[in-house]
Amino acid sequence: MNPEYLLEASEEFAKIIWPIRNRLKIIDLILYGSVAKKSSNPHDVDLLIIHNNHLVDDFNKKLLAKKFLDINEEIKALKEISDIDFLDMFKNSKTGHLISKNLFHTSYMNSLYFKNKDYKEKWNKQNKDPHFARNILRDGFVWNNTTKKYDIPALSKYKIKEKSKITKPQSF
């Protein structure tokens, strides 16, 4: 798939979601994966949504347990917890096109990850890769609402002290 199209879709997503971030209790959006690495042949968009919303945690558990049959069920479940019609929100957009093709993937991490050791261990276990978060932060870029780009290196905001330990920045 065209790398520019995928990047534009990820930026479009952020521009649409950012104005309602407080309603969803979103703290940050982090672009990672092949688009963030500027691969010459990326296949999809990968975003990490850092939030402070226990309902999103419940949704994420169901998502990871593959409780939804398809993307439509996922979006319906998101609507139930947020009262936001995401299908309508992304209708006729690049993001919506990628969602319909299952090429727009979101992961969810509660900000408790940076404060609570038990939550961090549970999250890492659920994601089946204890280094998943470290890899995202190493390669990812945080959405910058001023520039309307993913141009803040995730490691400049989320510090990694040791090989597998991640700490929350002082600014939170």
Position 44 in a domain = yes
Domain membership of residue 143 (yes or no) is yes
pLDDT per position as a tens digit, 15-45: 999 999 999 999 999 999 999 999 999 999 9
Q: Is residue 172 assigned to a domain?
A: no
Structural domain count, the chain: 1
Three-state DSSP at 8 gives: helix
pLDDT computed for residue 60 by the predictor? 86
The confidence band for 158, taking pLDDT boundaries of 50, 70 and 90, is: confident
pLDDT digits (tens, 9 = 90+) for 92-125: 999 999 998 989 999 999 999 988 889 888 888 8
Give the whole-angstrom CA distance, residue 13 versus residue 99: 11
Each residue of 50-69: b (16+ CB within 10 Å) or e?
bbebeebbebbeebeeeeee
The identity of residue 168, as a single letter, is K
- pLDDT band per the 50, 70, 90 thresholds, residue 160: low
103 found inside a domain: yes
Tens digits of per-residue pLDDT, 52-76? 999 998 898 888 888 888 777 888 8
Non-local (6+) Cβ contacts of 31 within 8 A are 10, 45, 46, 47, 140, 141, 143, 150
High-pLDDT (> 70) share of the chain, %: 92
Residue 124 lies in a domain: yes
The residues near 83 (Cβ < 8 Å, ≥ 6 apart) are none
| Residue at 26 is within a domain | yes
pLDDT of residue 163 exceeding 80: no
- pLDDT over threshold 60, residue 171: no
CA atoms within 13 A on the CB side of 61: 7
pTM: 0.88
Indicate whether 60 belongs to any domain.
yes
Instruction: Evaluate whether 21 touches 74 at the Cβ level (below 8 Å).
Output: no
DSSP β-ladder status, 104-110 and 141-144: unpaired
| DSSP symbol at 18 | G
The range of the structural domain enclosing residue 64 comes to 3-167
